[in-house]
Structure 1
Amino acid sequence: MAHCSRCLIPWGKNDGLYLTEIDRILRPGGYWILSGPPVNWKNHWKGWNRTREDLNEEQNGIERVAKSLCWKKLVQRNDLAIWQKPTNHMHCKLQRKIFKKPPFCQAQEADKAWYTKMEACLTPLPEVSDIKEIAGGSLANWPQRLTAVPPRIRSGSVQAVTAEIFEKDTELWKKRVSHYKALDSQLAEPGRYRNILDMNANLGGFAAALINYPLWVMNVVPAEAEVDTLGVIYERGLIGTYQNWCEAMSTYPRTYDFIHADSLFTLYKNRCDMEDILLEMDRILRPQGSVIIRDDVDVLVDVKSIVDGLQWDSRMTDHEGGPHVREKLLIATKQYWTTPAPNQDQEVSKTAS
């Protein structure tokens, strides 16, 4: 579901470009809800300081774009209007003869969204053989959806990821998180951590293993990752985004209680400085927040030297597989600290000069 409440976006303008983008990110059968102007304009137009004609045209523009996207309007009641995206495009292809815009996208890769311009074309859904079939495959209800093999993997559309690999990954992360809790007891303490960031989420196994705890995980798929797994993360019922960790993350300072980074520094080796990534982690981690970084031992030795310079309390420990595994874990906690007060004599000297 996508929801907009008084967001003042001109949904019907620019050939419906903004609603076309909403269509791209909604799953088959997903819902779009609009609350506020111009919905229910007949009862509110005076309070909105706009003319009836202007609001009527805005509403009609939205309705036209929604029809051109083959959406079905389910209800408009009071200040809410709800549309539904079709579960497949069998009927929509026939409607192209009536609504010429937007055309179906030809060369666009629908999953590409990092530094990608929006296009005024309708993202085609996977082919179906029956009008009642859900394009791309049906999703299990929650909470079974979390561990069921996602449709993208069942269909073979995720490079080098099979159902067997997915199931093994799910079990692997249950064991890893159990090991994490033994190393950081606060991870299992209800309420200690609430906002968690997984900087290299892969299939979302780390977040899935934490599902019974009162917390949420932002799963990041690096823009440089070999396999784009963000669609899998969402099909599991988790939340995620793309990010290039050589750049700042669009988030408030001190956002996260806990940060997890699996093989992140190996991924970004020779792409950008390790210091830059760690400084960004320091910016978005709250004081007394913790991190677990897993990577090759040689990489972690360099990471630890920088982390110590940030005045984090850190320690390295063995992989859950034992001391003979090259991959190790770095566990660290960000500390409260302030810049030392300047020497009083130096201040007097500065004032005199």
Structure 2
Amino acid sequence: MAHCSRCLIPWGQYDGLYLIEVDRVLRPGGYWILSGPPINWEKHWKGWDRTAEDLKAEQTMIENVAKSLCWKKLKQKDDLAVWQKPTNHVHCKVNRKVFKKPSFCQAQDPDKAWYTTMEDCLTPLPGVNNIKEIAGGELAKWPERLTSVPPRISGGSVTGITAEMFRDNTELWKKRVAYYKTLDYQLAEPGRYRNLLDMNAYLGGFAAALVQDPVWVMNIVPVEAEVNTLGVIYERGLIGTYQNWCEAMSTYPRTYDFIHSDSVFSLYKDRCEVEDILLEMDRILRPEGSIIFRDDVDVLVKVKSIMDAMQYDARIVDHENGPIHREKILLAAKQYWTAPAPSQDQGESQTDS
């Protein structure tokens, strides 16, 4: 579902470009909800300081764009209007004879969305055998959805990942998270952390293993990852986004209580400096928050030396399967500290000068 509440986006303009983008990110059968102008303009037009004719024309444009996308308007009540995207494009392909625009995109990767220009074409849904079939496969109901094999994997559209690999990965992260909680007692304490970030989420196994805890996890799929798995994460009922960790993350300082970094520095080796990534992690981590790094021991030794200089309380521990593994775990806790106040002598010298 996508929801716009008085977001003041000109949905009907530019040939419906913004609604076309909403259509791209909605699942088959997904919903778009609009509340606020121009919905219910008949009642509110005077308070919105716009003419009734202008608001009526805006809603007409939105209605026409929605129809051109093959959306069905389910209901309008008071200040809310609800549209639904079709579960497949069987009818939509036929009505292109009526709606010349937008046409279907040709040779487009719909999952490509990092520094990608929006296109004024309709993203085609996967093919189906009959009108009642859900394009791309039907999802299980929650909470079974979290651990069921996602349709993208069962359908073979994610290169190199099988249903068996998915199940194994789910069990692996249950084991790993249980081990993490023996190392970081605050992670095991319900309510201590709320906002979590997984910097290299892969299939979302880390987040899935925490489903019984009162936390939410932002799952990041690095744009440099070998396989694009963001679609799998959403099919599991989790949330996530793309990120290049050589760049700043689009969020405010001190967003997260806890950060998980699995093989991030090995992935970004020779791409950018370790210090730059660590400084960005420090920016978005709350004071007294924690980080768990998982990487090759040589990488973690370098990371620890930098974390020590950044006044973190850091220590390296063995892999959950014992000390013979080169992959180790680094625990780092951000200390609460502030810069010392200027001394009286410094203040006087500045006044004299």
User: Normalization by structure 2: what TM-score?
Assistant: 0.98
Residue 219 of structure 1 pairs with residue 219 of structure 2: yes
| CA distance in 1: counterparts of 2:347 and 2:266, whole angstroms | 45
Q: What is the aligned partner in structure 1 of residue 334 from structure 2?
A: 334
Tell me which residue corresponds to 2:260.
Answer: 260
* Runs of 4+ deviating beyond 6 Å: none
Q: Which residue of 1 aligns with 2:207?
A: 207
Give the Cα separation in 1 of the matches to 2:64 and 2:342. Answer: 66
Matched, 1:137 2:137: yes
- 1:323 partnered with 2:323: yes
The 5 A counterparts of 1:175-186 are 175-186=175-186
State the 1:340 CA deviation: 2.8
Q: Distance in 1 between matches of 2:76 and 2:348?
A: 71
User: What's the CA shift for 1:111?
Assistant: 0.2
Which residue is 1:193 aligned to?
A: 193
What does residue 167 of structure 1 align with?
167
In the alignment, what sits opposite 1:250? 250
Measured against aligned partners, the alpha-carbon deviations of 1:28-71 in whole angstroms (never above 9, x if no partner) come to 00000000111111111111111111111100000000000000
What is the Cα deviation at residue 196 of structure 1?
0.2
State the SS of the aligned residue for 1:142. Answer: coil
The residue aligned with 2:94 is 94
Per-residue deviation, 1:345? 3.8
| Counterpart mapping for 1:276-295 below 5 A | 276-295=276-295
TM-superposed deviation, 1:108: 1.8
Q: Does 1:20 align with 2:13?
A: no
- Cα deviation, 1:2-24, whole Å, max 9, x if unaligned, reads 00000000000001000000000
Superposition deviation, residue 184 in structure 1: 0.7
Give the TM-score, by structure 1 length.
Answer: 0.98
1:150 pairs with 2:150: yes
How many Å apart are 1:342 and its aligned residue?
3.9
Report how far residue 352 of structure 1 moved. 3.6
Counterparts of 1:46 and 1:340, CA distance in 2: 56
Name 2:47's counterpart in structure 1: 47
- Cross-structure match for 1:11: 11
Q: Secondary structure at the match of 2:97?
A: coil
Residues 251-270 of structure 1 show CA distances to partners (whole Å, capped at 9, x for unaligned) of 11111000000000000111
Q: Using the alignment, how far apart are the partners of 1:112 and 1:341 within structure 2?
A: 49
- What is the identity, as a one-letter code, of the residue corresponding to 1:275? E
> AA paired with 1:200?
N
Post-superposition offset of 1:348? 3.8
Aligned to 2:115: 115
> CA offsets per residue over residues 86-110 of structure 1, 9 Å max, x none?
0000000001000000000002210
Tell me by how many angstroms 1:315 deviates.
0.5
How far apart are the structure 1 equivalents of 2:256 and 2:346? Answer: 38
In structure 1, what residue type is equivalent to 2:328?
Answer: K
**Amino acid of the structure 2 residue aligned with 1:94:** V
Separation of aligned partners in 1, 2:61 and 2:347: 66
Number of aligned residues: 353
Residue by residue over 1:200-243, the C-alpha shift from the partner in whole angstroms, topping out at 9 and shown as x without a partner, is: 00000000000000010000001111110000000000000111
1:165 counterpart letter in structure 2: M
Query: Residue 306 in 1 paired to residue 301 in 2?
Result: no
* Distance in 2, Cα, partners of 1:349 & 1:25: 60
User: Counterparts of 1:238 and 1:196 in 2: how far apart (Å)?
Assistant: 13
Identity across aligned pairs (percent)?
76
In structure 2, what is the Cα distance between the partners aligned to 1:55 and 1:300? 59
Partner of 1:32: 32
Q: What residue ranges of structure 2 are gaps of 5+ in the alignment?
A: none
- The one-letter code sitting in structure 1 at the alignment partner of 2:242 is Y
Letter in 2 for 1:130: N
- Local SS of the residue matching 2:321: coil
- For 1:296 and 1:338, how far apart are their aligned partners in 2? 32
Task: Supply the AA of the counterpart residue of 2:290.
Answer: S
CA distance in 2, matches of 1:2, 1:174: 31
